[in-house]
Amino acid sequence: MCAHSILLDFLMDPTRFADDNQRNVIFKTIFGELENVFPQLKTVYEMATEDGYLYVLAHNNVLIITLRFFNQGVITINVEFYQDEGQEPKLNYTKYISIENILKKKLPAKRSKLLPSIKRGGILDIYLTSTDERLLEYDIDKLVFEQQSEFQKIQIVHSKTLGNMLVLDELQNIAESDLIYTETLMQRGIENYKDKEICILGGGDGALLYELLKEEPKFVTMLEIDEIVMQACNKHLRSICGDVLEKRKGANYEIVVADCMAYMKKYVKEGKKFDYVFGDLTDVPISDTPTGEIWDFIRTILEHSLKLLKPDGKYLTHANGATCPEALQMFEEQLKLLTPPVKFTKATAFVPSFMEHWVFYQVSLA
C-alpha cells in the first residue's frame, strides 16, 4: 500500500541530442516501447528546459511517466503510480527489465540503469542510510514497537534477515544479528574481564552488559537514562540482552536509571575507580568542526571517564562509520588534547544491521 517510483536512465552520446529532429526520433523510440506495455499512452505536456527537454506522459490517468532529456547525454524516465495492498502490479518488474534491455540496444545507449521500485508513503521505514548518507533498503516487514520517550524516538522494527532491530531517532542502533558489534566494542578475546570492575555509560539495549556478564566480572554498573529503551529491548531484543534488563540487578551487576554525568561526578568525588569504562552513548557526530553541544558532551564524558579509571584501566567506545574519516579524525584530535594524556588503539568491524564498517576506540592513560 504505497506509491511506486520506477527509475530508469540511459547514458548516451550527447551529440545525439544536438537538434530537435534527433531528439524527436529518440523520443518516438522510447514512447513506442512504453506504449507497448501501457496502451493509450498520451503525451499530456512537454517543454524545452535550459538543458534539455521534458515530457509528461499519462496512461489511463493513473500512471504518470516523466521523461527528461539532459543535453549532457542523460535520459531519465520515471514511472509513477499507486498500488493498493493485494493489488496486482501495473506491470511485472521483469517487464521493466525487458524495456531497459530493448531500449539500451535500440537507442543505443552506452549505459543503462534500472533501479528496483522505490516504495513511497508507506507506513514502514524501509529505507535507512549509511553514515555517509548512502541509500540502503532493508527487508523490514513489521513495526514492532514505537514510542517517543523524553529523550528520543524509539522504534523496534523487524527485519527478515537481521531480526529485531532498535532504531533511535531514525538511526540503526543494534539488531539481533549484531553480536560482532558488542564483541568488537568489548574486544572479546583481547581484554580480560574476569574479576574486573566495570562501568557502562548508556548501553540501554542491554547487549554489552549481557555479554560482559559471561566473562565473570567482579561488578558491572550500568548508567542508562532512558527507561523506555530498556523496557522495549527487554521485551523485543531478548536474544541479545537475556534477562539483564528484566532483573536490573544481580550478584555482580546493577542497572541505574540515571543521567550518567551526575553519577560520574559523584564517583569522582567518592574516589571510585574502574578497570573499564564503556562509552556506549551517542555516536561521534559528523560535523565540520568539533564544536557545539554534542562535542562538548563527548569531551565531558571523556574527561570524567579518565578520572574514573584505575592507572591501567581502559575506556572503550564505539565512534562512527569508517566512511567518515573526518569525524573519526576529529575524535582522535579530541583524544590528543586530553589531560592526563592518553594513548589509543582502534578496531573495525562490519556490522550487519549498519551495512557498513564501524570504528571502535580503546583509550588508556599514557
For residue 141, the minimal CB distance to its own copies (Å) is 11
Nearer to its own copies, 127 or 151 (CB): 127
Report the b/e string of 300-316 with b at 16+ CB within 10 A: ebbebbbbbbeeebbbb
Site string for its own copies, 172-211 (x = CB under 8 A): -----x----------------------------------
**Do residues 59 and 66 lie in contact, with contact meaning Cβ atoms separated by under 8 Å?**
no
- Interface size with its own copies, residues (CB under 8 A): 67
DSSP letter for each residue of 52-75: EEEEEEEETTTEEEEEEEETTTEE
Among 32, 36, 43, 44, binds its own copies (CB under 8 A): 44
Place of cell 509528461: 56
Q: Is 352 in the site for its own copies (CB under 8 A)?
A: yes
For residue 22, the minimal CB distance to its own copies (Å) is 18
Cα 290 from Cα 296, distance rounded (Å): 8
* Other beta carbons less than 10 A from residue 96's beta carbon: 21
Nearer to its own copies, 147 or 161 (CB): 161
Q: Is 73 in the site for its own copies (CB under 8 A)?
A: yes
Q: Is 356 in the site for its own copies (CB under 8 A)?
A: yes
Q: Is 82 in the site for its own copies (CB under 8 A)?
A: yes
For residue 229, the minimal CB distance to its own copies (Å) is 21
The contacts found for 266-269 with CB under 8 angstroms, 24 or more apart, are 267/199, 267/308, 268/304, 268/307, 268/308
For residue 40, the minimal CB distance to its own copies (Å) is 13
Instruction: For residue 192, give Cα distances in angstroms to 83, 272, 306.
Output: 55, 20, 19
Q: Is 10 in the site for its own copies (CB under 8 A)?
A: yes
Among 43, 72, 92, 345, binds its own copies (CB under 8 A): 72
Nearer to its own copies, 3 or 294 (CB): 3
Q: Is 142 in the site for its own copies (CB under 8 A)?
A: no
Cα 36 from Cα 357, distance rounded (Å): 45
Determine how β-strand 197-202 pairs with β-strand 274-280. parallel
Q: Is 366 in the site for its own copies (CB under 8 A)?
A: no
Helix-strand-coil split of the chain, %, nearest 5: 30, 40, 30
Whether the CA torsion 57, 59, 60, 64 is positive or negative: it is: negative
Where does this chain touch its own copies (CB under 8 A) — which range of 6-14, 210-218, 220-228, 230-238? 6-14
**Do residues 122 and 1 lie in contact, with contact meaning Cβ atoms separated by under 8 Å?**
yes
Where does this chain touch its own copies (CB under 8 A) — which range of 100-108, 109-117, 193-201, 231-239? 109-117
Q: Which of 178, 226, 280, 283 is catalytic?
A: 280
Q: Is 137 in the site for its own copies (CB under 8 A)?
A: yes
Nearest residue to 165 (alpha-carbon basis) of 205, 129, 200: 205
Backbone angles phi, psi at 216, to 5 degrees: 55, 55
The verdict on whether 51 is a catalytic residue reads no
Cα 264 from Cα 172, distance rounded (Å): 27
Residues in touch with its own copies (CB under 8 A):
1-3, 5, 7, 9-11, 44-45, 47-52, 54, 56, 58, 60-62, 64, 66, 68, 70, 72-76, 78, 80, 82, 84, 93, 111, 113, 115-116, 118, 120-123, 125, 127, 129-130, 132-139, 160-161, 177, 322-323, 350, 352, 355-357
Residues tagged active-site: 280
